[in-house]
Structure 1
């Protein structure tokens, strides 16, 4: 393989039951964003839980994307009981991602987390989550509108303010920009070694970076994959991730 080969980006799969059958799946908009906005070759890493071969996954990865999902991180991973049993969980994905995150950072593999992926990174570094942000005093309701139309679910609804001098401010060139909001959970206690990069108007952390990471290591609570090619701050995030993935290709092929 030559130095000009396209980067390979692994997307962590969800383990889902569909029509009474089991599937390892990743949302189409994440796959499309990797293919078009990074750009890179997207490959889905199956959610095999404790059976996931982390070393082999890292060996074929030039970057890792932790996508959003309908499920939540199991609260046992941050020493809480399940608040609402009606909400979906995905222990198989937890078993993949919570092991993969630290190994990826240690190996210098570029890492981008989105929504659930953002929350996974916080939990992997010892942080905790609010299981229902909207029930916390002074916090807004960050859940999506009750609408069947995706254009309404993913509409930009509130600004985020970037931390001056931070990585996200540098990448986007913005001190503030509008984002969508489709999450019920959010960061409570920030994980050790994580640095806040942006906040919502109610003070909720909306972006973090992993301090001391050897490569790109950023996560956001909103969904920058949505309409990414037409939303400059969103595209800037994927392009910066892509630059890091291409740098890893060059390093590995040297």
Structure 2
């Protein structure tokens, strides 16, 4: 049997300001191939081109990646403002429906940064347009200048719930992570369990209560140096294991017991 197939949900961009492309970061593909042990496939995130049932039939799991566009506030019942930034409505249409379908069936889904926010919104949650504007919060955005290494530098701690899913996976209650996001969870969806928070109280690690399969999401970017980073590696390894089970026809128990 070949490697499980992971659909990587990317974003729409203009190459050289004129040529429309669907794109995904190479780091995501490397993490899926080299750490999760799966085959990465980039999904053209547009409901005019793909359907959720088709995607679920040809993939064994999905990676909801980060990206500059934000989830449109209409998806969680709020008005658009300049603070909400750029959008990718086509990705919204695919990723939110796909997340809900995966939660229902137990097909593995792993959310990163924007993907973390998509999981929350898909499950009925809302978002703050700009975390750094909130009293007592740090600036979680990517540094505007510097090398890639400097932009992905570990910048704050995340504390997990004692005995929770992420604590058990990591073997420690506190880890150090990078931070490259502007938005964040305002209200958690009814089934969203906040299992880890940053030093300023910003939610950083979540899962869906009662989901029959792997449904984890993190606000940081574990795809960076995933093979070497002790926080990133177990996330992708667990995701890969869940995808292998799915490919083999094994349907896991609730996520709280599956990690």
TM-score normalised to structure 1 length? 0.94
Provide the residue aligned with 2:206 in structure 1: 208
Residue 239 of structure 2 aligns to a residue whose secondary structure is helix
1:196-248 deviation digits (Å, cap 9, x = unpaired): 11000111110100111111110000000001111112100000111101111
Provide the residue aligned with 1:175 in structure 2: 173
Decide which of 97, 100, 103 is 1:99's aligned counterpart.
97
Could you tell me how far apart the structure 2 residues matched to 1:118 and 1:240 are? 17
Could you tell me how far apart the structure 2 residues matched to 1:85 and 1:189 are? 18
How far 1:85 moved relative to its partner?
6.2
Could you tell me how far apart the structure 2 residues matched to 1:125 and 1:50 are? 23
Structure 2, unaligned stretches of length 5 or more? 251-259
Cα 1:104–1:86, aligned 2, differ >3 Å: closer, same or farther? closer
How far 1:86 moved relative to its partner?
8.2
Provide the residue aligned with 2:9 in structure 1: 12
Cα 1:18–1:86, aligned 2, differ >3 Å: closer, same or farther? farther
Higher alpha-carbon deviation: 78-87 or 51-60: 78-87
In 2, are the aligned partners of 1:50 and 1:96 still within 8 Å (CA)? no
Provide the residue aligned with 1:187 in structure 2: 185
Provide the residue aligned with 1:49 in structure 2: 47
Q: Write out aligned runs for 1:7-156 (5 A).
A: 7-19=4-16, 20-49=18-47, 52-84=50-82, 87-156=85-154
Could you tell me how far apart the structure 2 residues matched to 1:108 and 1:86 are? 31
How far 1:51 moved relative to its partner?
5.4
Q: Write out aligned runs for 1:222-233 (5 A).
A: 222-233=220-231
Decide which of 145, 155, 158 is 1:157's aligned counterpart.
155
CA RMSD of the aligned region, Å? 1.4
Q: Which runs of 4+ in 1 moved over 6 A?
A: none
1:50-92 deviation digits (Å, cap 9, x = unpaired): 6531101001111110000011111111122223268321111
Provide the residue aligned with 2:238 in structure 1: 240
Q: What is the total number of aligned residue pairs between the two structures?
A: 249
How far 1:24 moved relative to its partner?
1.1
Provide the residue aligned with 1:250 in structure 2: 248
Could you tell me how far apart the structure 1 residues matched to 2:223 and 2:214 are? 17
Residue 24 of structure 1 aligns to a residue whose secondary structure is strand
1:100-152 deviation digits (Å, cap 9, x = unpaired): 10111212211100000000010111100010011111211111212141111
1:19-40 deviation digits (Å, cap 9, x = unpaired): 2111111111101111111010
Could you tell me how far apart the structure 2 residues matched to 1:185 and 1:50 are? 27
In 2, are the aligned partners of 1:61 and 1:109 still within 8 Å (CA)? no
Could you tell me how far apart the structure 1 residues matched to 2:209 and 2:73 are? 24
Could you tell me how far apart the structure 2 residues matched to 1:225 and 1:67 are? 9
In 1, are the aligned partners of 2:84 and 2:129 still within 8 Å (CA)? no
